[in-house]
Structure 1
């Protein structure tokens, strides 16, 4: 499964119709979730049938394509299934009880309700929402694929406009010549990555560099916010919504910079090595540290990991996630534990007098752990399918699905 994204061009009337379709999809998703809460023992098939009941009861729901309604129900069931799965596995902490959607930004169609033009440069939506024909702006060419290979089409709203995403069922594996190289990489804040060969990649810190501009735009947005209108529950001024869009576009730019950087580095690492070992970091727990949360979020470790797994699957390379426990503390030369704080950036072993950069020492330990699991990738480390390739449906935020590698 591969996802192609195009920017769509249309008239204001069509954009309003897209917003209406998104709100309807959100309404159906929340209704299905409420139905699951009220009636015990419902299955995924029961929620799909409930969509027809909603269409008969609400005229605006009937205007949305039937398969788009089913996609909304599947989104609700996806959250329910994740909750059930965490309960069965007895994962510690919160199990992620499904929540009602407040700000949905996309609507997803399956194999009906839309049609591509003859040259594949425009798409027409045939339901009663009145979206009509939208031009597709992008460099990808859909003429290489059969229409039956397109399993899902999603309309997505972002701060800088509207986009169409196509989920194409195609095998993307590419045969490459072995490089006869292996590497372990350590993710950090001083360096974005440090590998076992001694090379380092600087941390770009896109958010830190744009923080002053973001704060300035945020202050301008706040000045246009009216507390009196908020108390009276009336709409804010048009200038406030324009300022909010400008603020969102700034954040979107930073997010895209980080994504492209992670993509470039991950592609370079995969192309240069046959096996890549990396830390199985729990970023969700690490950002709870209020002193490092901003820097960790700015680094984009999870994004880098997703692209690393994607390119590893595409080019037939082995990617192994290893537990990060003591990889920075243990000496890569003698194996003895040398305690050090985060501020200590140089590893100095008192047992064997080995001196090395802290991150490079950790990357060597990571590579050693990764090599010890090779041959067991189906059981203990990352093996068959990367996270982005699990299932044909897309997430509600427009990004690919995520799945953590099992720990040793």
Structure 2
């Protein structure tokens, strides 16, 4: 499954119709969740049948395409199934009990309710929401694929406009010549990555560099907010949109940087070893949370696994325990604090950069697992390849970037 994204162009009335379709999808998700909470033992099929009941009770729900209603129910069931899986796996802390949606940003269609134009440069939505025909702005060519290969179409609202995403059932494997190289990668805050050969990539810190502008935009937004005002003024919504666009720009910068580095690493090596970091747990450290979030480790890992799958390269996640403490030469444990950036072994006399020493240990662990228990740390499949449903928060699991 591969996802292509286009920006859509239409009239203001069409954008308002998209917003109405998004609100209807959110309403169905919340109603399905309430129905599941009130009735024990329900399955996904029961939620799909309940969509027809909602359509008969609420005229605005009937206007939405039937498969789009089912897709909203599937999102609810996805949250329910994830909650049960976390309970079975005995995940520490909160298990992620499903919550009501407050700020949904997308509506998802399946194989009906839409039609592409003959040149595949426009799409028409034919349900009762009166969205009509929208122009597709992008560099990808959908003529390469058959219409039957497009399994899902999503309309997504972002701070800078509206987008259409197409989930295409297509082969993503690309045959490449082996390079004969292997690499171990240590992710860090001072350096974004450091490999076992001593090469480093400095962390760009996009959020840190834009933090001053973001804080200024946030203050301007707050000054225009009227407590108890309903609705807020147009000036407030303009300031709110400017603030959101600045955050979106930082997010895109980080994503493109992670993608570029991951692509370079995969193209240069046949085997890539990296740490199985618990980023969700690491960001609980209030002293490092901002820096860890700004580094984009999870985003880098997703792209690394995706490109590894696409180009037939081996990617192995290894446990991070003591990779920075152990000596890569003799294996003895040398305790050091986070501020100590040089590894000095008292047993064998090895003096090396802390991150390079960790990268060598990561590569050794990965080579020990090859042919035995090598695995993706987020499941049997890469993290981006789980399920055909598009990610409900608007981000793509396996989206091809515009810059590639």
TM tier, shorter chain? over 0.9
Partner of 2:237: 241
Per-residue deviation, residues 160-189 of structure 1 (Å, max 9, x unmatched): 000000000001100001100000000000
Please give the alpha-carbon distance, in whole angstroms, between the structure 2 residues aligned to 1:163 and 1:256.
15
CA distance in 1, matches of 2:358, 2:96: 33
Q: Which residue of 1 aligns with 2:162?
A: 162
Report Cα offsets for 1:50-76 as digits up to 9, x if no partner: 000000000000000000000000000
What is the SS of the residue equivalent to 2:22?
helix
Distance 2:376 2:220 in 1: 51
Aligned to 2:290: 294
Inter-partner Cα distance in structure 1 for 2:376 and 2:289: 29
CA distance in 2, matches of 1:128, 1:380: 43
Match of 1:264 in 2: 260
Are the equivalent residues in 2 in contact too, given 1:373–1:381 (CA < 8 A)? no
2:305 to 286, 309, 331: 309
After TM superposition, the score normalised by the length of structure 2 is: 0.97
Corresponding position of 1:367: 363
Any conservation in 1 of the 2:366–2:374 contact (CA below 8 Å)?
Answer: no
Measured after TM superposition, the shift of residue 385 of structure 1 is 3.1
Contact 2:316 2:376 in 1 (8 A): no
Pairing 1:149-298 to 2, within 5 Å after superposition: 149-229=149-229, 234-298=230-294
What displacement does 1:92 show? 2.0
Distance 1:371 1:171, change over 3 A: same
C-alpha distance in 2 between matches for 1:377 and 1:315: 21
Q: Look up the SS of the partner of 1:368 in the other structure.
A: helix
Deviations 1:375-407 (A, max 9, x none): 1356686896322122211011122359xxxxx
Q: Describe the SS at the equivalent of 1:68.
A: helix
Q: Is the contact made by 2:276 and 2:377 (CA closer than 8 Å) also made in structure 1?
A: no
**Secondary structure at the counterpart of residue 270 of structure 1:** helix
Task: Name the Cα RMSD after superposition.
Answer: 1.3
TM-score normalised according to structure 1 size: 0.96
Q: Is the 8 A contact 2:64 2:129 kept in 1?
A: yes
Distance 1:382 1:72, change over 3 A: closer
In structure 2, relative to structure 1, the CA distance for the partners of 1:106 and 1:218 (3 Å cut) is: same
How many Å apart are 1:88 and its aligned residue?
Answer: 1.4
Whole-Å Cα distance in 1 between the matches of residues 115 and 33 of structure 2? 30
Report the secondary structure of 1:227's partner residue: coil
Match in the other structure for 2:32: 32
Contact 1:122–1:133 (8 Å) recurs in 2: yes
Unaligned regions of 5+ residues in structure 2, if any?
399-404
Three-state SS of the structure 2 residue aligned to 1:371 is: helix
Asked if the contact 2:64/2:127 (under 8 Å) is kept, the reply is yes
* Cα separation, partners in 2 of 1:380 and 1:61, compared to 1, 3 Å: closer
Q: Structure 1, residues 190-213: CA drift from partner, whole Å, max 9, x if none?
A: 000000111000100000000111
1:348 matched to 2:344? The reply is: yes
Partner of 2:133: 133
Classify 1:236/1:382 alpha carbon distance in 2 versus 1 (closer, same or farther; 3 Å). closer
Q: What secondary structure sits across from 1:67 in the alignment? A: helix
After TM superposition, the structure 1 = structure 2 runs for residues 354-393 of structure 1, keeping only pairs within 5 Å, are 354-377=350-373, 385-393=381-389
Q: Is the Cα contact below 8 Å between 1:306 and 1:388 reproduced in 2?
A: yes
SS at match of 2:47: helix
Conserved in 2, the CA contact under 8 Å of 1:331 and 1:361? yes
